[in-house]
Structure 1
């Protein structure tokens, strides 16, 4: 038995406490970097008209709390039209991603046919190319189809994402073979095994696909900017970019208020689904 002197024990406790304090300080710093810009944006949107936003006279907290910026957003641009267009894109993307990613992931998880690993590898390779490298060719195709300035033209190129197919494939691969074999012995056909075994087991992956799809469709800006031309088809992201309240420039309070209106639904969605989201991340790791 090794005896440790009281001096060494005290030093060990001190270093352990310092390590805990260091970890918490690091977490606080990361939290400040992540939440700080959002908090500053919210506080800026609540400042009164006469307050300084920049310079030595500016303060972090508003001196004159006001909602005039939010009222100006509502009166300056047709928010209901933009929200309706954004929701339409979200619903279209969510339905297509869930259906095709689930079907593709299930197909790639099934043994017995050659080429499934090659297809999975091609999906991984497809994720290596940034969207900016193919957006010109995509726009030309949408133009040939006559879908410019339509919500269908925004939705169609993103009908299914490679990462979502791979997430669902990994979720289905995690189902134990013994469970499927037991269902086969009970006489379950392909559709019964899919709906009663694989689909319930892939709920975590479905939540990951759903949350990522909603966030991506709601926040998308570049592709709608290329495809859409008339204000009646603009989603919320494009509509907020048109905020101008003065002939001398842009009122940052109004811009921040519009940004908060856009980000609040995403924050609510994440807080409601974070339990399933992290569970799906853990259970649906992408593997070949």
Structure 2
């Protein structure tokens, strides 16, 4: 009993330190500039002025819509394309399958920064600057997504695949009728990873866009930070809290999928 009490106390303390920056940002979003200058922990007179000014200084709703559109598009694309690639690596025999998979995994070792220039040149030649395609297409397939789904497909009973073949089931029918329905947990985990990573992306959208009509919310938050005058931090924190809410909600409701999804592919290699 005492061990459980100590464990819960340590968990509560750890959770507090993890959420302390978010809680302070939430507190600052309701403060006045004077409270911030006085290093107050709580607002003396809570106000929604920071949220009101954040929505007037930048096209906040437009930025949120852009981020949602980009994140959902990337999420759907990764679910479909990564699952197709993983299915081919597991169920379709072809020469060089293992070598090709190793080459695919090796691309995870390439730093993102080293791919910016060639990807930018490709987008420029396609005429996709300041378009949603530039923010969506390059991340529709990721080696991590293919690896995650391949490991899960390897855990599926081989007898099910043999029985489906005996009944004349085609590859694509097996993919739609068996592989995907039996992969809801891992697909949920991949969806959450794809959505959050795309929602929080900053450097690539900054390079690819100069038009507010296609820019995501992360660029909008940077626009709230003044480079010449003193920054009004309640406004910045208000925008940050608004941008953080979707990811927090997804993590809260999808934590089960992340936990079960990461464990589901750990049986076979």
Normalised by the length of structure 2, the TM-score is 0.91
- Could you tell me whether the CA contact under 8 Å between 1:166 and 1:286 is conserved in 2? no
User: Aligned pair in 2 of structure 1 residues 192, 142: CA closer, same or farther (>3 Å)?
Assistant: closer
Q: Partner residue of 1:262?
A: 243
Matched, 1:100 2:100: no
Deviates more, 1:200-209 or 1:186-195: 186-195
Q: Secondary structure at the match of 2:180?
A: helix
- 1:159 offset after TM fit, Å? 1.9
- Could you tell me whether the CA contact under 8 Å between 2:135 and 2:208 is conserved in 1? yes
- Could you tell me whether the CA contact under 8 Å between 2:33 and 2:232 is conserved in 1? no
Matched, 1:253 2:234: yes
User: How many Å separate the matches in 2 of 1:160 and 1:192?
Assistant: 22
Match of 1:28 among 8, 12, 18: 12
CA offset digits 1:65-103 (Å, max 9, x no partner): 111100111111111221222122113212221111010
User: How many Å separate the matches in 2 of 1:45 and 1:286?
Assistant: 46
Q: Partner residue of 2:43?
A: 62
Q: Partner residue of 2:34?
A: 50
Number of residue pairs matched?
269
Matched, 1:210 2:191: yes
Q: Secondary structure at the match of 1:50?
A: helix
Q: Partner residue of 1:138?
A: 119
Please show how residues 78-93 of structure 1 align to structure 2 within 5 Å: 78-93=59-74
Please show how residues 169-248 of structure 1 align to structure 2 within 5 Å: 169-243=150-224, 248=229
User: How many Å separate the matches in 2 of 1:153 and 1:186?
Assistant: 43
- Could you tell me whether the CA contact under 8 Å between 2:189 and 2:254 is conserved in 1? no
The structure, 1 or 2, with the larger RCO (C-alpha pairs under 8 Å, 6+ apart) is 2
User: How many Å separate the matches in 1 of 2:268 and 2:215?
Assistant: 38
Deviates more, 1:257-266 or 1:86-95: 86-95
User: Aligned pair in 2 of structure 1 residues 132, 285: CA closer, same or farther (>3 Å)?
Assistant: farther
User: How many Å separate the matches in 2 of 1:249 and 1:230?
Assistant: 25
Match of 1:157 among 127, 138, 143: 138
- 1:152 offset after TM fit, Å? 1.0
Normalised by the length of structure 1, the TM-score is 0.86
Deviates more, 1:242-251 or 1:203-212: 242-251
CA RMSD of aligned residues (A): 2.2
- Please tell me whether Structure 1 or Structure 2 has the larger radius of gyration of its CA atoms: 1
Query: Which structure 2 residue ranges, 5 or more long, are not aligned?
Result: none
Q: Secondary structure at the match of 1:139?
A: helix
User: How many Å separate the matches in 1 of 2:211 and 2:51?
Assistant: 24
- 1:25 offset after TM fit, Å? 4.3
CA offset digits 1:99-143 (Å, max 9, x no partner): 110100100112532222112212221111221121122112211
